[in-house]
Every structure is written in structure tokens, then in C-alpha cells.
Structure 1
């Protein structure tokens, strides 16, 4: 593992308040469900975030090179937990925003 010290969850948005808010909802849901290291909500110019007409977030669900994250990510039950946390974050954002 080239970067075993890098572990945790982080979300990215690009320039919009709505994208920042969606990213915060997703991060909060993931942290609540997993207890993973909080790497924060960050702004970035990723193409997949810039080229949208709606709130967008890119989610890092851990790092396969991380000493803590790698074994978790190898577990299908943990991956399902992550997927459900992402879904809950999106649904809560919709309920609270619209």
C-alpha cells in the first residue's frame, strides 16, 4: 500500500451552494453510518461536477490503499452500508430542500 495513512470519507462540490449542501448531507450520513475518518467537504473543479445543471457531489467512500479502509472496502456488507448511507443522504437532502 503506497499511502496506508490516507483513510476516510470526503465529498466534493463545485461552486454552488446547493452542491455544497448536498455534499454536506452525504458526508454526514456516511459518517453517522460508518464512523469513518472525516476528511471533509471540499470544493474542486472536477469535470463531472462542473458540467451539471443540478446539485452534484463526488463522494470518496474510502481509499483502497488505506490501512483502515482497505479491509472495510473488501467486505460486501460494508459496501452495502456505504450505499445505503449515500441513499439516505440524498433522500434527506431532498426532504429538507424541496
Structure 2
């Protein structure tokens, strides 16, 4: 479990942001709703702070290549055309 990664265990999502190695974010779910957001110590796993919200940035400045984005857009447009005909 290193910077810029996440893990899921049961209803708990833990994220170590790319810009931090001492603190992580733990998001606890109850069904499909967020129950609690905590800032945790990456070494001990202890809760440092309870948060009301958190902003999470991508681990990389480039989330996807332009080529991949264009392929995805083409696929989405084709899917939309198919769905329109079904309606």
C-alpha cells in the first residue's frame, strides 16, 4: 500500500494520495452511502481526524492519453446512436 494507490476491504476504501506518504483517507460505506470519512496514519492505521469531505486528485497529471479519450468518445457516440434507435 503505497502513495498514489488505494485498497478496498469490505465496505472500506483507503486511499494514499500521490502527494502524501504519512496520511491516508479512509472512506467507510454503509450500502451505497458514505458513512464516514477519516484521515488516518499510514503506519499505524489510527484515525487522526474525522472529515466532512475530501478532495482526491489523480495520481498522475495525465489520467488518459488523447488516443484513448478519442476511442472512448467514438464508442460512446456509437452506443448513443444505438440507444436512440431503441427509444
Structure showing greater radius of gyration is 2
TMscore range, shorter length: under 0.3
Q: Which has the higher helix share?
A: 1
Compare relative contact order (CA 8 Å, sep 6+) and give the higher one, 1 or 2.
1
Q: Which has the higher strand share?
A: 2
TM-score (norm 2): 0.27
TM-score (norm 1): 0.24
